[in-house]
Structure 1
Amino acid sequence: MSDLLGQGWGPPGPMTLHDKTNKQNFLLLIQLRWIAVGGQIVTILFVRYVLGIGLPLVPMAVVILLLIALNVASLRRHSSQDAITNTELFLGLLLDVTALTVQLYLSGGASNPFISLYLLQVILGAVLLETWSVWALVFIASTCFIALTTFYREISLPAAHGAGLFSLHIQGMFICFVLAATLLVLFITRVQNNIRTRDAHLADLRQQSAEEAHIVRMGLLASGAAHELGTPLATLSVILNDWQRMPALEADPDLAQEIREMQGQLDRCKKIVSGILMSSGELRGEGTVRT
């Protein structure tokens, strides 16, 4: 498909269909990041003030502010007329993975039930990125996961939750599962809609190109036929001119009238052939006329 888009199948303008689809998917990634920012704020406040679990609010707030700044910059980038590249999509997801890693480091490391959100980032990368970028993202996310098993900030649970740690972990895993599943369904559904729209447009362009090619072939056929008809028409014109000067035929009024009628029809055929050649950008080489 990228070959077709690069060989003139795209619409007129500086951006191809592939570029427009990347731009739409980039906007979806921005919207998903806003959802992630809101989810982090709600989760941090709930854990800190409802469950009473101590969290480093200032560093975690700094990470959220950086994500907001990233989204503002991404919105400005999206509003520009330039195409969104695979590298930009990869860097955006890489920064999301980095922010998630920092938040997990500050809240228990690999024991945090939201550790499985790495899988969400990898799935989004598999949908949006080229092959090399996806595998690079898998490697980086896996490395971060392994690092969080050793390097992390422990969280202190209140005495009331000490015995129910496993229960809290299961609840967190369930919330993470529902969140990831919902976001994946929403995001991938919209990405598929973008892809279907692009494919439908590409099919229309193929159909239009086929119709234009058919018209060109018909034009070439008509032009070739007009050229082929030129010689016999010229021969008939010479013969009729000779007949008009023959005394035996001039003496017969009926024959003379039929010859003049034949000459008129012959001139009409010449005009039709000349019109066909004029439409194809050519001229008949008969006489000198002002055009």
Structure 2
Amino acid sequence: MPETGLSDNPFQHPRRANWIRLRTLIVLRWVAVAGQSIAIAAAHFLYELQLEIGLCVLAIGMSVIANLVAMFIYPANKRLNEVEAMLMLVFDLAQLGLLIYLTGGLHNPFALLLLTPVTIAATALGLNAVLIVGAVAIGIVTFVAFDYLPLRTIQGFVLRVPSIFLFGSWIAIVIGVSFLALYARKVTTEIAAMGDALLATQLALAREQKLTDLGGVVAAAAHELGTPLATIKLVSSEMADELQGDAEIDGLLEDARLIGEQADRCREILRSMGRAGKDDLHMRTAPLQSVLEEAAEPHQDRGKRLHFDMHPGAGSDERQPDIHRSSEMIHGMRNLIQNAVDFAAGNVWIEGRWTAQNVVVRVIDDGEGYPPHLIGRIGDPFVRRRRAPDEPRKRPEYEGMGLGLFIAKTLLERIGASLTFANGSDPFLAPDERPDRGGAIVEVTWPRKLLVAEEAEARGALGDNLRFDS
């Protein structure tokens, strides 16, 4: 099995490994040591409570010794893996539990601080580690609810709360451990998922931009090399004409013809490579249908028919608008078209409409449509659809986690678009009752001023016509 760089440890989440710096936990522990020392001193000297000072100092000293050992043994930039971080948090729970045991158990209001290590675990560790830390916290809370050294005043009175409040404190801390762990983990997981999805979006956009730039370089090379290749072709043709019929130099004749053929071949190669070159001034804008056809080009030969339908809206100019040809537009629409092709039964319609205010593009397929329970979440990253165990995968090459639609939505919204997702018909209709365009529908709407190029920009990029003198 090849090396993956990921731990085989069941506690270690591949995306959360080595997130926590040792220095961070050391600093937090120093803060805890300072707070515990102040609380013990205040209870003993200010409120004159009879505490086991020696044992309390020993408990606080355990944290001090652990911090000093960690500081001297490990480098300052040490990052903890899942197991190391979990063990440090379990140690902190045990130390805090011992201190609470020595100072009244759940009769001590500071027992609430047992929630802190659990919250840290929920935000930084994997599920297994969080469950272990949470179980340890609940175990400690339950233990100190029944067994503890009571708090006594200097007169010898025992400070205790009524049993019902003691039970309420136990219930509150147990629920707090569960709720805070669940809440913090849910928020952190969504933030991490959104971060991963945004990174994928940036990578997709960067790739598209690099391909566009590379195409521009190739197009420029094809343009610049056109004249030398034409010269080579002309000279080789003239040489072949002059050598024609001379039996003594047939070898030179074949060489001249070969030079001409290779020049033609170079021209064709450069022409085919330069078709993707879009960095020329006159290609920074293009008609709406041309841009959509370019976005759909990789999916033209995937067994589904693509239909382009471009019409003006009511009271609008018949001529298609020239729009800005951006990487966000191309890649975003390409992802939407890819999704439609993946799930279509046989046809995908790409409709374009424009008015004086808006430009609207719809991508429609004749598939089964979006699952009704997921329509409200389409466009979020990592949306999984639950399948029955015997339901076949329609896209075995994809995970079906909504990342493509998220990337498309993010890129298109960056250039001012708004997206809506819907079904063209009731997904529970029988196949023979469905209309032709009854599958999934994505409607992308731009304010016209954000997408459409001004007339001077769209038509004036080539410059003025020059007079040709013969």
Q: What's the TM-score, normalizing by structure 2?
A: 0.37
What whole-Å deviation, never above 9, does each CA across 1:15-42 have from its counterpart, x for those lacking one?
x99556432xx43322221111000100
Which residue, out of 193, 201, 211, partners 2:206? 211
Q: How far does residue 156 in structure 1 lie from its aligned partner after superposition?
A: 1.9
Q: How far does residue 205 in structure 1 lie from its aligned partner after superposition?
A: 8.1
Larger Rg: 1
Q: Distance in 2 between the 1:215 and 1:40 partners?
A: 57
Contact residue 105 and residue 152 of structure 1 kept, 8 A: yes
Q: Which amino acid aligns with 1:28?
A: T
What whole-Å deviation, never above 9, does each CA across 1:44-103 have from its counterpart, x for those lacking one?
011011111011111111121210122233345663666420111111110000001110
Contact residue 51 and residue 102 of structure 2 kept, 8 A: yes
Matched, 1:121 2:112: no
Q: Which amino acid aligns with 1:56?
A: E
From the superposition, tell whether residues 77 and 241 of structure 1 become closer, same or farther in structure 2 (CA, over 3 Å): farther
Matched, 1:47 2:43: yes
Which residue, out of 30, 34, 38, partners 1:38? 34
* Structure with higher RCO (Cα < 8 A, 6+ apart): 1
Matched, 1:72 2:71: no
Q: How many residues align?
A: 215
Q: Which amino acid aligns with 2:139?
A: T
Q: Which amino acid aligns with 1:105?
A: Y
The alignment partner of 1:149 has SS state of: helix
Tell me which moved more, 113-122 or 30-39: 113-122
1:233-272 matched pairs, under 5 angstroms: 238-243=236-241
Structure 2: gaps (5+ residues): 7-13, 170-179, 245-259, 274-470
Q: How far does residue 206 in structure 1 lie from its aligned partner after superposition?
A: 6.0
The alignment partner of 1:156 has SS state of: strand
From the superposition, tell whether residues 162 and 72 of structure 1 become closer, same or farther in structure 2 (CA, over 3 Å): same
Matched, 1:157 2:153: yes
Q: How far does residue 219 in structure 1 lie from its aligned partner after superposition?
A: 6.3
Contact residue 90 and residue 125 of structure 1 kept, 8 A: yes
What whole-Å deviation, never above 9, does each CA across 1:81-129 have from its counterpart, x for those lacking one?
6642011111111000000111011111222111111122222221121
From the superposition, tell whether residues 136 and 158 of structure 1 become closer, same or farther in structure 2 (CA, over 3 Å): same
From the superposition, tell whether residues 163 and 153 of structure 1 become closer, same or farther in structure 2 (CA, over 3 Å): closer
Which residue of 2 is the match for residue 139 of structure 1?
A: 135
Q: Distance in 1 between the 2:34 and 2:238 partners?
A: 92
Contact residue 27 and residue 78 of structure 1 kept, 8 A: no
The alignment partner of 1:141 has SS state of: helix
From the superposition, tell whether residues 75 and 17 of structure 1 become closer, same or farther in structure 2 (CA, over 3 Å): farther
Structure whose residues are more often strand by fraction: 2
Contact residue 16 and residue 124 of structure 2 kept, 8 A: no
Q: Distance in 2 between the 1:78 and 1:205 partners?
A: 35
Matched, 1:105 2:101: yes
Q: Distance in 2 between the 1:18 and 1:63 partners?
A: 31
From the superposition, tell whether residues 82 and 153 of structure 1 become closer, same or farther in structure 2 (CA, over 3 Å): closer
RMSD: 4.9
Contact residue 105 and residue 149 of structure 2 kept, 8 A: yes
From the superposition, tell whether residues 85 and 20 of structure 1 become closer, same or farther in structure 2 (CA, over 3 Å): closer
Q: Which amino acid aligns with 2:210?
A: I
Q: Distance in 2 between the 1:240 and 1:204 partners?
A: 58
Q: Distance in 2 between the 1:213 and 1:6 partners?
A: 28
Q: Distance in 2 between the 1:208 and 1:162 partners?
A: 68
The alignment partner of 1:143 has SS state of: helix
Which residue, out of 20, 23, 43, partners 1:22? 20
Q: Distance in 2 between the 1:79 and 1:17 partners?
A: 23
What whole-Å deviation, never above 9, does each CA across 1:144-165 have from its counterpart, x for those lacking one?
1111122212232233x95986
Which residue of 2 is the match for residue 60 of structure 1?
A: 56
Which residue of 1 is the match for residue 278 of structure 2?
A: none
Which residue of 1 is the match for residue 80 of structure 2?
A: 84
Q: How far does residue 142 in structure 1 lie from its aligned partner after superposition?
A: 0.9
From the superposition, tell whether residues 154 and 82 of structure 1 become closer, same or farther in structure 2 (CA, over 3 Å): closer
From the superposition, tell whether residues 39 and 207 of structure 1 become closer, same or farther in structure 2 (CA, over 3 Å): same
From the superposition, tell whether residues 79 and 18 of structure 1 become closer, same or farther in structure 2 (CA, over 3 Å): farther
Contact residue 118 and residue 130 of structure 2 kept, 8 A: yes
Contact residue 19 and residue 79 of structure 2 kept, 8 A: no
